[in-house]
Chain A
């Protein structure tokens, strides 16, 4: 059995929609991290006392979900649909192979631990 890690960088305000979409597809577990980063949009301009200043890195959320290989496309499309606004800054999804999974409480491995 093999697994994938789906790592999605999304708009912070989309996290609840993404969580619900994943949950509806049966993916309950996930890890969410506050991150900063930039894409082709680069930074944004904010208001200073008079005039403006640039912020080069934008706050985003990183969602990590570990899934079975054959569930991978389903999870990706759930995230894609729920995180999309169509505007610049919707983020990216990366997929990595996962070697093993260990449940700390029981010591179960592989598909028993997912």
Chain B
């Protein structure tokens, strides 16, 4: 039976999550040099266009279609054939199947957009589009199927990922790492200053992400019910706790920057994502704060390493996602979600093992496949823009426009 309230909430949540992709574009664009603001925005918003079509044509079917050996969805829903206004009881019994499909579309869009932070200011736009299409097909679709698809093998062993800590943030964060390795450093990285163009833009993007995340996590209940409210509350709590923790740590080091606080908030949102349907608000405070501190030091270590994961996608989304997935295995409570499981702190150490195993599998798979895809695209079309284009800035060199007159 279609429920009006559930359907309304999932549609609103979908719109919120779709807003997160341009918000992410602004979040990233403010941190790059002014000659690459538009290029950086373009990476995110072009993915919104590209994957929205890919998802309708075959992405949704590959991810959520009839299972094949626990590994991949079938082609039975190609072109959304058979995905209609009636509910699909297996995924969401009270909303139209199309609503579930489009909610998932929003996730399939933002996940590859997260990776773009690793290669801003030097990517060849055409190669980028090909890489994203391949990545969505060979990394996102399988992992989404394993964890969320009916018959998916990680779902079957009991892996918990309420809103995409593993499917979204670990896959993106790890792929960012491999991409940064393949494409190499920006010219002059570590020698000349890379001055952020517009911190207010980044702060605006970060807090639009916070706002959109109510749909990301709250909507993942797929119903307008108590669980959605619980996810909503822990989402806000973890974001706040992480923002505070980041502010305090950076203050101890030197000064509390708004860029730091905004980054902390995003990391808290990442970390609570897999746990958001299973944990209490007090657990969310711990998860947010721990994730913020780990990601803060991960950025410092990454900076020292010389690897140019330019906007620290691995440190923020990779580490945040891993912390969140593992924390789900510690803090999950059946009292909050009877369809979930208890974590280690609630008498079920096995859940932590399942979470750790899932993290290991997805980290390995995402790294290997994304590395191969990056190498293949690089060999055919060159992932990197020409040196002269990088010098001039990609806004003019690749897109023929400038952000400011």
Residues of A within 8 A of B (CB): 43, 47-56
Contact = CB atoms under 8 A, between A and B. Distances in A.
Nearest to B195: A55
B193 A43 contact: yes
A73 to B, nearest CB: 39
Nearest to B302: A50
A59 to B, nearest CB: 12
A47 B259 contact: yes
B319 to A, nearest CB: 12
A50 to B, nearest CB: 4
Interface residues of B, number: 20
Contacts of B193: 43, 53-56
B195 A50 contact: no
A84 B361 CA distance: 63
B296 A50 contact: yes
B194 interface: yes
3 A-B pairs with least C-beta separation = A47-B257, A50-B299, A49-B263
Contact of A50 (B192, B194, B250, B255): B250
A3 B299 CA distance: 56
21 contacts: A43-B193, A47-B250, A47-B257, A48-B257, A48-B259, A49-B259, A49-B260, A49-B263, A50-B249, A50-B263, A50-B295, A50-B297, A50-B300, A50-B303, A51-B300, A51-B303, A53-B193, A53-B195, A54-B193, A55-B193, A55-B195
A43 B193 CA distance: 10
B312 interface: yes
Nearest to B258: A47
A54 B192 CA distance: 9
Contacts, number: 40
Contacts of A50: 249-250, 253, 260, 263, 295-297, 299-300, 303
Contacts of A54: 193
Contacts of B195: 53, 55
Contacts of A53: 193-195
Interface string B263-297: 10000000000000000000000000000000111
Interface string B187-200: 00000111100000
Interface string B286-326: 00000000011101100100000000100000000000000
Given A43-B193, A54-B193, A49 B254 contact: no
Given A53-B194, A53-B195, A55-B193, A47 B299 contact: no
Nearest to A54: B193
A43 to B, nearest CB: 7
A49 B297 CA distance: 11
A55 B249 CA distance: 23
Contact of A47 (B192, B249, B254): B254
